[in-house]
């Protein structure tokens, strides 16, 4: 029977990870309600995973490892270890371990919510339930509470012109093809040189918002374009699950499951269909 498990992976780290690195980890693994923090030389990444057993849930270690290596540079002396525990037991363990609280200052709140630091300052009353302390550098909040606020009050992209991202024509074509596939709309018109891009799409998974991208040879044009989308935070990815590989058959062991971030959806030229079947207007 499928249950929910909490996975904790710990690394002994040589050097202080940047806030951007920790944010990239959380964004990469957001599908698993990821949390990442660094204390006393130890990087800890936590995931929540639906699985048939703790052994099956341990596959999340690979997801964490791939994300950590992707978003370097970061010198990892060694992985200290990992543990998996059922969600109800994890809750009890957290309650017994009250000293751990993930914190968020203005910069972290801006990253989580997508607002500017100035706008975040105007939200102090709304965020007050999650306020822990006010320092000379500004207010400090519980990061989990800020994420809850962001989920309940998503920033609307309507009427907001996204900042320009210097994408090449191939990177733009790949982003739009991924977005169109995930949204279930017609693929965009592509330049002759880019008509091979849809061939890399193997289909959609789950609720249709996740796209299966065929593994590309290292050094290929498409691999480089996909790396650029990851670098800009427009997409996130995970390895394909064992059950998904089995359902698809042989030849998909190295494929990636890709979904657009909210930033990627804003920067894509593709609009999902509304309830009446029309494409949503920007």
Would you write out the chain's pLDDT as a tens digit for each of its 282 residues? 578 888 999 888 777 777 778 888 888 888 888 888 777 678 888 888 888 888 888 888 988 888 888 776 555 557 888 989 887 776 666 555 545 567 888 888 888 888 888 888 888 888 888 888 888 888 998 887 888 888 777 665 444 444 567 889 999 999 999 988 888 888 888 889 899 999 988 888 766 678 888 878 878 898 888 888 888 888 888 877 777 777 777 766 777 888 888 778 878 877 654 444 444 444
* Per-residue pLDDT at 161: 46
Short-list 178, 208, 202, 196, CA closest to 253: 202
* Per-residue pLDDT at 135: 84
Task: Write the CB contacts of 231 (distance below 8 Å, at least 6 apart in sequence).
Answer: none
Phi and psi at 45, nearest 5°, equal -120, 130
* Per-residue pLDDT at 198: 92
Asked whether the beta carbons of 8 and 45 are under 8 A apart, the reply is: yes
Task: Write the CB contacts of 230 (distance below 8 Å, at least 6 apart in sequence).
Answer: 70, 236, 237
CA 194, 177, 21 angle in degrees (round to 5)?
A: 105
Task: Write the CB contacts of 54 (distance below 8 Å, at least 6 apart in sequence).
Answer: 5, 84, 85, 86
* Per-residue pLDDT at 186: 86
* Per-residue pLDDT at 86: 87
pTM reported for the whole predicted model: 0.44
Q: At 135, which helix (H) or strand (E)?
A: strand 131-135
* Per-residue pLDDT at 99: 52
Instruction: Say which DSSP state 222 is in.
Output: H
* Per-residue pLDDT at 22: 81
């Amino acid at each position: 029977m499928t249950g929910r498990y909490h996975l904790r992976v710990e690394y002994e780290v040589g050097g202080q990870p940047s806030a951007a690195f920790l944010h990239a980890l959380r964004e990469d693994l957001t599908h698993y309600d990821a949390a990442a923090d660094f204390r006393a030389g130890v990087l800890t990444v936590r995931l929540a995973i639906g699985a048939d057993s703790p052994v099956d849930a341990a596959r999340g270690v690979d997801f964490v490892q791939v994300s950590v290596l992707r978003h370097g540079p970061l010198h990892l002396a060694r992985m200290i270890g990992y543990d998996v525990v059922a969600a109800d037991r994890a809750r009890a363990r957290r309650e017994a371990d009250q000293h751990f609280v993930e914190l968020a200052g203005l910069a972290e709140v801006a990253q989580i919510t997508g607002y500017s630091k100035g706008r975040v300052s105007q939200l102090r009353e709304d965020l007050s339930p999650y306020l822990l302390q006010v320092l000379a550098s500004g207010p400090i909040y519980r990061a989990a509470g800020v994420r809850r606020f962001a989920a309940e009050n998503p920033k609307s992209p309507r009427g907001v012109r996204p900042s320009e991202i210097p994408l090449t024509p191939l990177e733009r074509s790949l982003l739009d093809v991924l977005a169109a596939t995930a949204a279930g709309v017609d693929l965009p018109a592509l330049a002759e040189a880019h008509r091979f891009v849809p061939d890399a799409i193997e289909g959609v998974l789950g609720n249709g918002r996740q796209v299966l991208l065929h593994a590309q040879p290292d050094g290929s044009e498409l691999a480089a374009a996909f790396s650029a989308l990851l670098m800009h935070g427009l997409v996130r990815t995970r390895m394909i699950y064992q059950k998904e590989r089995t359902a698809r058959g042989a030849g998909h062991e190295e494929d990636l499951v890709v979904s657009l971030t909210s930033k990627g959806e804003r920067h894509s030229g593709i609009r999902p269909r509304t309830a009446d079947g029309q494409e949503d207007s920007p």
